[in-house]
Amino acid sequence: MIGLTGISYKTSPVEVREQFSLSKEEIIPFSELLQKETEISDIVVLSTCNRTEIYFSQDKYDFQLAAKLVYKTLKHFKGIENKYWHSFYSYENDDAVKHLFEVASGIDSMIIGEDQIIGQIKEAYLFCTEAALTDAVLMRLFQKSFEAGKRVRTETRIKMGATSVSSAAVQKCSALFEDLAAKKVLMIGAGETGGLVLQNLYKNGITKITVTNRTEEKARKLAERHHCTVLPFDQVPSHLYLYDIVIVATGSKVSLVTRTMIEQALTERKGGSQVYIDISVPRNIEENVEGLEAARLFTIDDLQEIVNANMEKRKGSIDAANEIINEIVAEFSEWLASRSLRPAIKAITYNMLKVTKEELSLYNNINSEETQHAIKEFSNHLTQKYTRLFIKNLKEMTSNGKRTESLKLVNELFSIGNE
């Protein structure tokens, strides 16, 4: 049986989730405690800022008990006394498989279609596999999750458009300039948002970038990381005219780029227009800049409209994503069910051959060599025919291994080898 016990951004706030987070260094000690207390030894632990999920494979307990035991062991391991069971979700078999495929595909993410989660799943799977914590079922399950994630991202439009203000800023620039890679960009601000903007600029082939910040050391570190040039902050007014695009992302409480500064820059450009993008809160570019004909100003609200529109487009891909996921869930379910038939098929084949061999031995001493050969040929033919028939009927009556009650009956019926 495949099971899942987890907690995510959908069921609890960060102050609860962080209590159950498992670092890479904690996974093996946790698995050892889980095996000691429950005898559940086959697991994959997926722990990110948005979720902690424990996937497990076991046949010792019924599902509800297994899920509760995993939760209690996690609480014990983390030293948590408060009750949080209401914040956890648990799924078994096909439901657990479907959930993992949804996570891998990005449709269960806070930002629909994001790519980071698939890398996190692969890392979690590889770590647990290398630590000998996964069985054949979990290995197959996670390999199929990678297939689901890849197909959803390539066969649907779930990755369409920017889903953050920083990426929306670059998307807006791409829409405004056909030759974006040739444009010069000034990035005012060296914080987290500024760093994300630079990442997106480089992804779009823009390399003529200058960074400036009131704390020059921060600007220098960011510039070194992204191979940009640095402009001293006090030189921004006199150098503003050099740039086609100016992006501002700082925590300043006052405007850093004024209408007077932009008017001077436009004069020195002698007719060349400029694009200004302000993603600061509060705004760092004076509002009255919007009245300048050669300067186009976009604020965080303009970019949020792009993000919201893109999110709606991505949501429109969820139905198509679910069709792919359901198809791969069915494939995995079929594979998993067929595994349960292997002992019965092995027993049928073994016992049929055993009976044939024992019965043939009775004739070896009373017949000629030619007669013995003929009897052996016929017996083998008959054995193979009935073995195939038994196996065919076995698959039909157990729905290829899914009807476990019928499977138990078959296992009992062909346990004649023990007599």
**Per-residue pLDDT reduced to its tens digit, 219-248:** 999 999 888 999 999 999 999 999 999 999
Using DSSP, state whether 135 is helix, strand or coil.
coil
Do residues 28 and 80 share a domain? yes
265 is an annotated ligand-binding site residue: no
Quickly count helices (H) and strands (E) in the chain.
16, 10
Q: Tell me what the mean pLDDT of segment 365-392 comes to.
A: 71
- The helix or strand, by DSSP H or E, that contains position 166, with its residue range, turns out to be helix 165-176
219 and 113 together in one domain = no
- List Cβ neighbours of 374 (8 Å cut-off, separation of 6 or more): none
Does residue 417 have a known ligand-binding role?
no
Position 391 confidence tier, pLDDT thresholds 50, 70, 90:
low
Which region among 6-20, 133-147, 202-216, 395-409 has the lowest average model confidence (pLDDT)? 395-409
Joined together, the tokens standing for residue 192 give: 């987290």
Residues 296 and 371 in one domain: no
Q: Identify whether the C-beta of residue 256 lies closer than 8 Å to the C-beta of residue 196.
A: no
Phi-psi region for residue 368, left (φ > 0), alpha (ψ -120 to 50) or beta? beta
Residues in the chain: 419
329, 101 contact by CB (below 8 A): yes
Residue 48 annotated as binding site: yes
Residue 50 assigned as binding residue: yes
CB atoms closer than 10 angstroms to residue 109: 22
Annotated binding-site residue? 114: yes
DSSP-derived secondary structure for 33-55: HHHHHH---EEEEEE-SSEEEEE
Same-domain check for residues 193 and 72: no
pLDDT at 278 > cutoff 90: yes
Q: Find residue 230's DSSP bridge partners.
A: 211
228-232-236-237 Cα dihedral, nearest 10 degrees: -150
Distance separating alpha carbons of residues 113 and 95, to the nearest angstrom: 20
CA angle 250, 110, 105 (to 5 degrees): 125
Q: How many domains does the chain have?
A: 3
Residue 228 is among the residues annotated as catalytic for this protein: no
| For residue 393, pLDDT beyond 70 | no
Top mean pLDDT of 324-328, 364-368, 375-379, 384-388 is at 324-328
Q: Compute φ and ψ for 205, nearest 5 degrees.
A: 80, 15
Number of C-beta neighbours around residue 28 at 10 A = 15
CATH code of the domain in which 273 resides: 3.40.50.720
Check whether 173 is labelled as a binding-site residue: no
Residue type, 345: I
Q: What is the mean pLDDT of the chain?
A: 88
Same domain, 328 and 365: no
Q: Can you give the residue range of the structural domain that contains 152?
A: 2-160+317-334
Q: Specify whether 213 is located in the same domain as 305.
A: yes
The annotation status of 194 as a binding-site residue, yes or no, is yes
Question: Which residues, at least 6 apart from 362, have a Cβ–Cβ distance to it below 8 Å?
Answer: none
Q: Are residue 324 and residue 264 in the same domain, yes or no?
A: no
Residue 182: DSSP 8-state = G
Same domain, 13 and 152: yes
Alpha helices in 252-299 (DSSP H): 259-269
- Could you give the residue ranges of the DSSP H alpha helices within 48-164? 63-78, 93-105, 116-130, 136-155
Considering only CA atoms, which of 54, 142, 149, 53 is closest in space to residue 104? 149
Please tell me which residue, 129 or 271, carries the higher pLDDT value.
Answer: 129
- 213 marked as part of a ligand binding site: no
Token look-up 């910040």 returns 213
Would you say 109 is a known binding-site residue? Answer: yes
Q: Give the C-alpha separation, 373 to 371, whole Å.
A: 5
Per-residue pLDDT tens over the stretch 39-94: 999 999 999 988 999 999 998 999 999 999 999 999 999 999 999 999 999 999 99
| Same domain flag for 124 and 197 | no
- Residue of 49, 128, 173, 228 marked catalytic: 49
Same domain, 351 and 273: no
120 annotated among ligand-binding-site residues: yes
Which has the higher per-residue pLDDT, 352 or 269?
269
pLDDT tens profile 127-140: 999 999 999 999 99
- What are the tens digits of pLDDT across the range 91-129? 999 999 999 999 999 999 988 998 889 999 999 999 999
Is a pLDDT exceeding 80 seen at residue 409?
no
Both 306 and 323 in one domain: the answer is: no
Q: Is 400 annotated as a binding residue?
A: no
CB 276 within 8 A of CB 248: yes
CA–CA dist 251, 247 (Å, integer): 13
**Residue 225 assigned ligand-binding role:** no
Is 291 assigned to a binding site? no
* pLDDT band at residue 419 under the 50/70/90 scheme: very low
Same domain, 303 and 368: no
- CATH code: domain of residue 20: 3.30.460.30
Q: Which residues contact 256 (CB under 8 A, 6 or more apart)?
A: 188, 236, 248, 250, 284, 285
